[in-house]
Amino acid sequence: MSLREQFSQQIKSEALRLGFSFCGISKAEYLEEEAPRLEKWLNQNMHGKMQYMENHFDKRLDPTKLVEGSKSVISLMYNYFPQKEQRYDSFKISKYAYGQDYHQIIKKKLKEFALFIHENIGEVNAEIFVDSAPVLDRAWAKKSGLGWIGKNSMLINPKNGSFFFLAEIILDLELNYDNEIKDYCGSCTTCVEACPTNAILPNNVVDGSKCISYFTIELKDEIIPNEVKGQFNDWMFGCDICQDVCPWNRFSKPHNEPLFNPNEKLLKYSKNEWKEITEEIYQEIFKKSPVKRTKFKGVKRNIGFLSKD
């Protein structure tokens, strides 16, 4: 067995030990296929008011500009599919935000992972990333053979669907690289037809400026535009419609991460209880939660918008 093969096997074993569901490895190189797609997406203003998407264009496409001398990208998937979901007649929160903020939980695991690499493989330059740097997570996961990018732009794994957080370790070590897998969406257009705001366009493109998640999380304006009134299907933070209807998510299995388990009130609250939520209760339900991104004011804005439908 070559050293490259040995190191690759050690890395994949450690990924599973740390609780990641899948691990794939790809060569750190310029993402030629993604460059024109990203440029066109930005030029058509599909990022809406997410100005940060315009920053670091070169770094998004070239990992060697993020980590000097990088040779490999380790892509990782961490399951967040919940054991229990909210009551059906409530204002809804995206499943990824049920529990504590994934950034901190996964970052802690990645730090442990990087330490393992240093202790078992040697002094390599390894940087960790979890949705907080200009890294095209889905492109790297696809390149690493972890799945394909569906029509809803989500990374879909053939064994367990798409309810996963993605993370990377970019390092200056040559490893054994995995091959991409086939796109199994075929002629299915279930997610395209289910999207109430028509955000899912042909050719696996999502117009971010039309997405319910954009309006309820990213948009910081005091008022949500009137033209989307009545189209949110009761989603008050994020949206899972395109994932919920995806046939591949019949293979989703509940996660084993206690920190992703929600406050019971989140599961049980009715629409009326959400309408009457105080800042004190908000802080209790969403302690350390990604929902903190919108702040109490944002959640109240979203509930108010839904209440007038």
Residues near 91 by Cβ (< 8 Å), separated by ≥ 6?
234, 235, 236, 271, 274, 302, 303, 306
Task: State the residue for tokens 């944002």.
Answer: 298
> Distance between CA 216 and CA 303 in Å, rounded?
10
pLDDT tens, N- to C-terminus, the chain (309 residues): 899 999 999 999 999 999 999 999 999 999 999 988 888 888 988 888 888 888 878 889 999 999 999 999 999 999 999 999 999 999 999 999 999 999 999 999 999 999 999 999 988 999 999 987 789 999 999 999 999 999 999 999 999 999 999 999 999 999 999 999 999 999 999 999 999 999 999 778 999 999 999 999 999 999 999 999 999 999 999 999 999 999 999 999 999 999 999 999 999 999 999 999 999 999 999 999 999 999 999 999 999 999 976
Element (H, E) at 54: none
For position 309, what pLDDT does the model report?
Answer: 62
| Catalytic site positions | 131
Q: Are 66 and 134 in contact (CB under 8 A)?
A: yes
Q: In this structure, how many other beta carbons lie within 10 angstroms of the beta carbon of residue 264?
A: 10
Q: Are 20 and 46 in contact (CB under 8 A)?
A: no
State how far the Cα of 37 lies from the Cα of 211, in Å rounded to an integer.
18
- How far apart are alpha carbons 209 and 218 in whole angstroms? 9
d(CA 254, CA 82) in angstroms, rounded, equals 5
CB proximity list for 51: less than 8 A, separation 6 or greater: none
Question: What is residue 308's predicted lDDT score, i.e. its pLDDT?
Answer: 75
**What phi-psi label fits residue 56: left (phi over 0), alpha (psi between -120 and 50 degrees) or beta?**
left
CB 5 within 8 A of CB 176: yes
CA distance 167 to 307: 36
Residue 26, strand partner residues? 73
User: Domain spans of the chain?
Assistant: 1-309
DSSP 209: G
Question: Is residue 126 within 8 Å of residue 171, measured between CB atoms?
Answer: yes
CB-based burial, 217-251: b 16+ in 10 Å, e otherwise: bbbeeeebeeeeeeebeebbbbbbbbbebbebbee
Cα–Cα distance between 259 and 277 in angstroms, integer? Answer: 23
